[in-house]
C-alpha cells in the first residue's frame, strides 16, 4: 500500500479523487434532501435522482472514446473545472436549475470515471490493480464520510448556497492536483470506435456475467438511494443531519475494507471479492431495514451503517478489478459498464418512487434480496480462472489472474 502511494502520479490521482468524490457526495446527499423537504414528494425526489444518472447512459459512448483516445489526466482535470462552472448558478437560484445541475454533473462524471478507471492500471501496472482499487475504495470511503456529512450538515445549518460554495472549492482543488503532467503516457493502440466497449463485453463471457451482476446491484442501489431518505426521515424520525451522518459513517467500514483489500486481500480473485461483497451487503441491509421493529436508537444505526460500508467497498474493488484485468479497452468497457449501471439504477429509483406510496417495508426487503441474488450470480458465474487477455491500452504485458 505504501509503495503505491509513493508513486507520485498515482498519489496525485488518489488525492484528486478524494476531493472530487467528496464534492460529488455533497450534492448527492444535499440536493435530494433539499427537494424532498421543499416538495414532500417521494416521486419528485426520485426524479431528481434520475436526472442525476440518465445522462451517464447518453454520454457513455463519448466517454469511452475520450478515455481511450486522449490524455486521461487532461480529461480528468477539465471535467473538474467544468463541473464547478455549471454549478455556479445554484449560488443564487434553485428551482428547475437543480435538475440541470444534477444532469450536467452526472454527464461530466461519466467522463471522469472511465478515464480514471483506465488510468489506474497504466500508473501502477496490472499486477497491482486490485491493491490500487482497494486504495481507491478507501479513498472513496473517506470522501463519502466527508462529503455526505458536509452535505447534510451544511444544508441543515447554512442552506444550499453554502453547500454549493464548498462543492466548488473541492472541485478546484482536485483540478489543481491534476494540472501537472504525469511521467507516464498512455497512448491508445489502434483506432477507437464508439461501441468498442459494448463489443468487447458481448464477446467476453466473463464480462457478460459481470455485467449481469452489475445490473442487479445497480437496481438495488437505485432503490436504496430513494428509500434511504424516506427510511431515515420516516421510521427513524431523523432529518437532514441524520441523513448525512448515516450516509457518511459508512465510510468508516469502507475505509477498513479498502485497507484490507489493498493489503491482505490483494491476491484474492476479483470475482470472489465481487460476489462475497455483494452477498454481505444484501444481508447487512436486510438487518438494517428490519431493526426498527426492535429499536430506533441512533447509536444502533450508526453502528450498522458503519458495518454496511465494508462490503460496498469490497464489491466495488472486485468489480473494477475484473473490468481492468479482462478488458483490452478499459476506458470503453468502463464507460459501457457505468452507463448500464446508471440505467438500471434509474430503473430502481423509478420503481421505488412509484411503489413507495404503498409503503416501504416490503420494498426495503426486496432491495436487500436483489443484492443477495447479484452476489450469488457472481460467485457461481465468475468462479473459474480468468483467461489471459490482450494488453490494455498501456505498455504492460498480458495478465492472467485467478
**CB of 402 within 8 A of CB of 271?**
no
**CB-CB neighbours of 400 under 10 Å:** 12
**pLDDT score of 95:** 63
Instruction: Give the burial string for 97-110 (b: 16+ CB within 10 Å, else e).
Output: ebbebbbbbbbbbb
Whether 302 and 350 have beta carbons less than 8 Å apart is answered as no
Residues 2-179+194-381, CATH architecture: Up-down Bundle (1.20)
pLDDT confidence of residue 296: 87
Which pLDDT does position 97 carry in this prediction? 73
The Cβ of residue 266 has, within 10 Å, a number of other Cβ atoms equal to 21
Spans of the chain, pLDDT less than 50: 187, 385-402
**Residue 399 phi/psi, 5° resolution?**
-120, 135
Residue 378 pLDDT: 93
Residue extents of the structural domains in the chain: 2-179+194-381
290: number of Cβ within 10 Å: 13
Q: What per-residue confidence (pLDDT) applies to 162?
A: 87
DSSP, residue by residue, 40-59: --HHHHHHHHHHTTHHHHHH
State residue 175's pLDDT score: 94
pLDDT at 283: 96
Is residue 81 within 8 A of residue 176, CB to CB? The reply is: no
Determine what percent of the chain falls in helix, strand and coil, rounding each to the nearest 5.
80, 0, 20
Is the separation of the CB atoms in 315 and 273 below 8 Å?
A: yes
Other C-beta atoms closer than 10 Å to the C-beta of 186 total 23
Four-point Cα dihedral 373, 327, 129, 143, nearest 10: -60
Residue 176 grid cell = 489543481
What are the Cα distances from residue 105, in Å, to 83, 275, 293, 332?
6, 30, 38, 20
pLDDT score at 94: 61
Amino acid at each position: 500500500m505504501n509503495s503505491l502511494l509513493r508513486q507520485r502520479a498515482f498519489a496525485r490521482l488518489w488525492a484528486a479523487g478524494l476531493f472530487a468524490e467528496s464534492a460529488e457526495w455533497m450534492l448527492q446527499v444535499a440536493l435530494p434532501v433539499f427537494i424532498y423537504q421543499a416538495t414532500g414528494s417521494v416521486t419528485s425526489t426520485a426524479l431528481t435522482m434520475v436526472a442525476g444518472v440518465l445522462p451517464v447512459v447518453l454520454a457513455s459512448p463519448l466517454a469511452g472514446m475520450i478515455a481511450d483516445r486522449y490524455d486521461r489526466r487532461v480529461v480528468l482535470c477539465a471535467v473538474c473545472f467544468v463541473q464547478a462552472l455549471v454549478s455556479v448558478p445554484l449560488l443564487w437560484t434553485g428551482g428547475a436549475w437543480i435538475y440541470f445541475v444534477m444532469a450536467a454533473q452526472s454527464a461530466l462524471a461519466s467522463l471522469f470515471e472511465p478515464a480514471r478507471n483506465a488510468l489506474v492500471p497504466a500508473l501502477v501496472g496490472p499486477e497491482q490493480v486490485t491493491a490500487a482499487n482497494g486504495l481507491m475504495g478507501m479513498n472513496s470511503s473517506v470522501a463519502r464520510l466527508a462529503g455526505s456529512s458536509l452535505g447534510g450538515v451544511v444544508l441543515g445549518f447554512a442552506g444550499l448556497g453554502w453547500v454549493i460554495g464548498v462543492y466548488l472549492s473541492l472541485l478546484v482543488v482536485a483540478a489543481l492536483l491534476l494540472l501537472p503532467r504525469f511521467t507516464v503516457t498512455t497512448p491508445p493502440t489502434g483506432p477507437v470506435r464508439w461501441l468498442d466497449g459494448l463489443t468487447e463485453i458481448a464477446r467476453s463471457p466473463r464480462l457478460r456475467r459481470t455485467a449481469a451482476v452489475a445490473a442487479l446491484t445497480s437496481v438495488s442501489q437505485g432503490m436504496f438511494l430513494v428509500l434511504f431518505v424516506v427510511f431515515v426521515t420516516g421510521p427513524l424520525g431523523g432529518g437532514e443531519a441524520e441523513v448525512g451522518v448515516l450516509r457518511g459513517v459508512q465510510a468508516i467500514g469502507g475505509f477498513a475494507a479498502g485497507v484490507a483489500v489493498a493489503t491482505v486481500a490483494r491476491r484474492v480473485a476479483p470475482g470472489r471479492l465481487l460476489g462475497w461483497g455483494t452477498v454481505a451487503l444484501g444481508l447487512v441491509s436486510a438487518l438494517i431495514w428490519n431493526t426498527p421493529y426492535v429499536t430506533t436508537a441512533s447509536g444502533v444505526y450508526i453502528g450498522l451503517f458503519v458495518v454496511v460500508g465494508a462490503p460496498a467497498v469490497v464489491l466495488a474493488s472486485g468489480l473494477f478489478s475484473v473490468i481492468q484485468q479482462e478488458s483490452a479497452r478499459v476506458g470503453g468497457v468502463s464507460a459501457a459498464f457505468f452507463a448500464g449501471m446508471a440505467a438500471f439504477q434509474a430503473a430502481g429509483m423509478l420503481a421505488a418512487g412509484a411503489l413507495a406510496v404503498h409503503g416501504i417495508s416490503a420494498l426495503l426487503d426486496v432491495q436487500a434480496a436483489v443484492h443477495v441474488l447479484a452476489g450469488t450470480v457472481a460467485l457461481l458465474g465468475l468462479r473459474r480462472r480468468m483467461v489471459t487477455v490482450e494488453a490494455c491500452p498501456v505498455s504492460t504485458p498480458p495478465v492472467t489472474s485467478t
